[in-house]
């Protein structure tokens, strides 16, 4: 039996059940995160608001032999051409079209929980997520006070298959100066451990922002790597490292430092949307350039100018400003038109998506991590990547009276 055959036979059971006739290298997020920790690298996690993003990223992953994640957030699934029902199939199809070989996980990003009704909905939807071939999930109840966040995350995580990659979150991602504390992180991760929940990653608020940094509004990238390292060091005793959110708009040279500060996953979303739309970007950061209170369309990049003008007219009709982050909501109504663009235009989008993905993979030191994943999977006795961890924390130390943060949410939505 060849090594590749052994590796493919060690894929998650839900992947093998759905795609038994495909040699797709779709693996558990746990295996991807484990490989990144082993190498001291970061997994590129690309939010594929349109399936074309997934294909471009997988082309980069195959070329550089890097393990990556294709993901979509719960909120994005409501306004994008990709959702939990369609993106898994589209990603496997894209893998097939490039001859398979790209090693990747399918990650449910920011599965938002705002209270008990969402917990109950999650219990039902997770079954569909498993059936649809997803292999990793981020539970996000971070807008809740710490005790409620701990309880909600625990309750949802208990219904996630143990072979899934697991990311959790403490502290809402709101921008510069908004920092999770070491005390919050230890309470949250220790509390989960006391209930037998073993995350791979913790997303924190460390000064990043989802979307475009608008300098006219005083916004600037403010990722505090020192605080990040303090938290990473504190939670490492539980086998947990950091997931960095809000990377669009961050200088590539700074991204190249992330792995030195306990970060093993890097989310990139808005940048790939900018590539799709052909919005002018700073080439060092990927931040959308705003001129005259408007995004700037580059005619020779992304979708054709005529289609962009349709999007602008649609956004105008919704009452969005021409530099509004809500332009993301144009993804769903225009998804089919984008998918049906001429082949030469689609190839243009794929090439630039691949170019950006390669830049991140190299900065993240992730070249060759696909082979580490293959080796890890082929060498173990079982297909199941459940980590060998133990409960070391006592539940009595993590009650509501011990919670560091009891504040309530400000009503904003920071989920993507």
| Paired tokens of 58 | 């997988």
Crossing angle of the two packed helices 182-194 and 146-157, in degrees rounded to 10: 40
Question: Token pair of 297, please?
Answer: 């369309």
Residue 395 belongs to a domain: no
Residue 78 has pLDDT above 80, yes or no: yes
Query: Could you tell me if residue 292 is inside a domain?
Result: yes
Query: Is 218 or 12 the better-scoring residue by pLDDT?
Result: 12
pLDDT score of 4 more than 70: yes
Residue 416: inside a domain, yes or no?
A: no
| Domain carrying residue 234 | 3-381
At 279-289, the pLDDT tens digits run 999 999 999 99
pLDDT of residue 178: 79
- For residue 45, the Cα-to-chain-centroid distance in whole angstroms is 4
8 Å CB contact between 102 and 62: yes
Tell me, what's the pLDDT at 295? 94
- Tell me what the mean pLDDT of segment 392-407 comes to: 89
pLDDT of residue 210: 75
Q: What pLDDT score does 175 carry?
A: 64
Mean pLDDT is lowest, of 120-134, 163-177, 215-229, for: 215-229
User: Long-range contacts of range 406-415, CB-CB < 8 Å, 24 or more positions apart?
Assistant: 406/145, 406/146, 406/147, 407/145, 408/145, 409/143, 409/144, 409/172, 412/172, 412/174, 413/75, 414/143, 414/172, 414/173, 414/174, 414/210, 415/73, 415/74, 415/75, 415/110, 415/112, 415/140
Q: How far apart are alpha carbons 67 and 286 in whole angstroms?
A: 22
- Choose between 220 and 199: higher pLDDT: 199
Q: What DSSP designation does 105 have?
A: E
Structural domain includes residue 415? no
Residue 277 lies in a domain: yes
Radius of gyration of the chain (CA): 20
Question: What does the pLDDT average to over 294-318?
Answer: 97
Average pLDDT value for residue range 45-73:
98
Regarding pTM above 0.75, the answer is yes
Output the domain CATH number for residue 182. Answer: 3.20.20.70
- Cβ 52 vs Cβ 94: under 8 Å: no
Q: Does the residue 413 lie in any domain? A: no
Confidence of residue 387 (pLDDT cuts 50, 70, 90): confident
Rounded Cα distance between 369 and 229, Å, is: 23
What stretches of 332-382 show up as alpha helix (H) in DSSP? 335-339, 343-363, 369-379
CA-CA-CA-CA torsion sign (193, 196, 198, 203) = negative
Percent of all residues in the chain with a pLDDT value above 70, rounded to a whole number: 94
**What's the whole-number average pLDDT of the chain?**
93
User: Which token pair is 40?
Assistant: 């001291």
Residue 412 has pLDDT above 70, yes or no: no
- DSSP class of residue 382 equals S
pLDDT > 60? residue 414: no
* Residue ranges with strand state E in 249-314: 263-268
- Dump pLDDT digits (tens) for 263-282: 999 999 999 999 999 999 99
Q: Is residue 203 part of a domain?
A: yes
Instruction: Take residue 132 and report the two structure tokens written for it.
Output: 């649809």
Per DSSP, what are the bridge partners of residue 106?
70
Nearest C-alpha neighbor of 324 from the set 352, 290, 368, 354 = 290
pLDDT at 211: 72
CA distance linking residue 151 with residue 143, whole number of Å:
13
Q: How many domains does the chain have?
A: 1
Q: How far apart are CA 148 and CA 361, in angstroms?
A: 36
Average pLDDT over residues 177-199: 94
The arithmetic mean of pLDDT across residues 110-117, rounded, is 95
Q: Give residue-wise pLDDT tens across range 18-51.
A: 999 999 999 999 999 999 999 999 999 999 999 9
pLDDT value of residue 225: 94
Cα–Cα dist 21/312, whole Å: 43
Average pLDDT over residues 126-154: 96
Task: Determine, yes or no, domain membership for 196.
Answer: yes
Tell me: the pLDDT tens digits for 84-107?
999 999 999 999 999 999 999 999
CA proximity to 51, closest of 26, 30, 71: 71
Give the β-pairing of 43-47 and 263-268.
parallel
d(CA 399, CA 80): 39
Does the pLDDT at position 320 exceed 70?
Answer: yes
pLDDT at 110 over 60: yes
């Amino acid at each position: 039996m060849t090594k590749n055959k052994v590796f493919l036979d060690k894929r998650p059971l839900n992947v093998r059940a759905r795609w038994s006739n495909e040699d797709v290298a779709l693996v558990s997020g746990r295996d991807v995160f484990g490989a990144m920790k082993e190498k001291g690298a970061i997994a590129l996690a690309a939010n594929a608001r349109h399936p074309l993003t997934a294909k471009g990223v997988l082309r980069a992953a195959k070329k550089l032999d890097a393990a990556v994640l294709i993901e979509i957030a719960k909120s994005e699934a409501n306004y994008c051409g990709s959702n939990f029902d369609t993106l898994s199939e589209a990603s496997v199809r894209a893998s097939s079209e490039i001859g398979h070989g790209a090693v990747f996980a399918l990650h449910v990003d920011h599965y938002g929980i705002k209270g008990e009704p969402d917990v109950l909905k999650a219990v039902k939807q997770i079954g569909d997520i498993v059936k649809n071939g997803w292999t990793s999930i981020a539970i996000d109840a971070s807008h809740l006070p710490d005790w409620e966040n701990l309880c909600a995350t625990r309750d949802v995580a208990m219904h996630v298959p143990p072979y899934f990659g697991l990311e959790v979150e403490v502290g809402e991602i709101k921008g510069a100066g908004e920092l999770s504390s070491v005390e919050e992180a230890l309470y949250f991760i220790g509390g989960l451990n006391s209930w037998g929940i073993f995350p791979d990653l913790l997303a924190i608020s460390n000064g990043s922002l989802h979307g475009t940094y608008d300098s006219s509004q005083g916004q600037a990238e403010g990722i505090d790597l020192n605080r990040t390292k303090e938290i990473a060091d504190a939670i490492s005793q539980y086998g947990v490292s950091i997931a960095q959110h809000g990377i669009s708009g961050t200088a590539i040279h700074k991204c190249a430092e992330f792995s030195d500060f306990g970060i093993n996953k890097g989310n990139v979303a808005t940048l790939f949307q900018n590539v799709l739309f052909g919005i002018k970007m700073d080439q060092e950061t990927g931040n959308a350039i705003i001129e005259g209170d408007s995004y700037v369309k580059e005619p020779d990049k992304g979708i054709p100018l005529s289609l962009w003008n349709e999007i602008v007219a649609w956004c105008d009709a919704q009452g969005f400003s021409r530099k509004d982050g809500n332009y993301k909501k144009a993804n769903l109504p225009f998804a089919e038109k984008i998918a049906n663009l001429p082949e030469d235009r689609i190839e243009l989008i794929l090439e630039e998506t691949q170019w950006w993905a390669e830049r991140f993979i190299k900065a993240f030191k992730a070249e060759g991590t696909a082979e580490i994943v293959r080796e890890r999977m082929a060498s173990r006795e079982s297909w199941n990547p459940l980590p060998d961890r133990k409960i070391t924390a006592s539940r009595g130390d993590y009650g509501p009276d011990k919670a560091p943060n009891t504040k309530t949410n400000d009503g904003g939505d920071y989920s993507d």
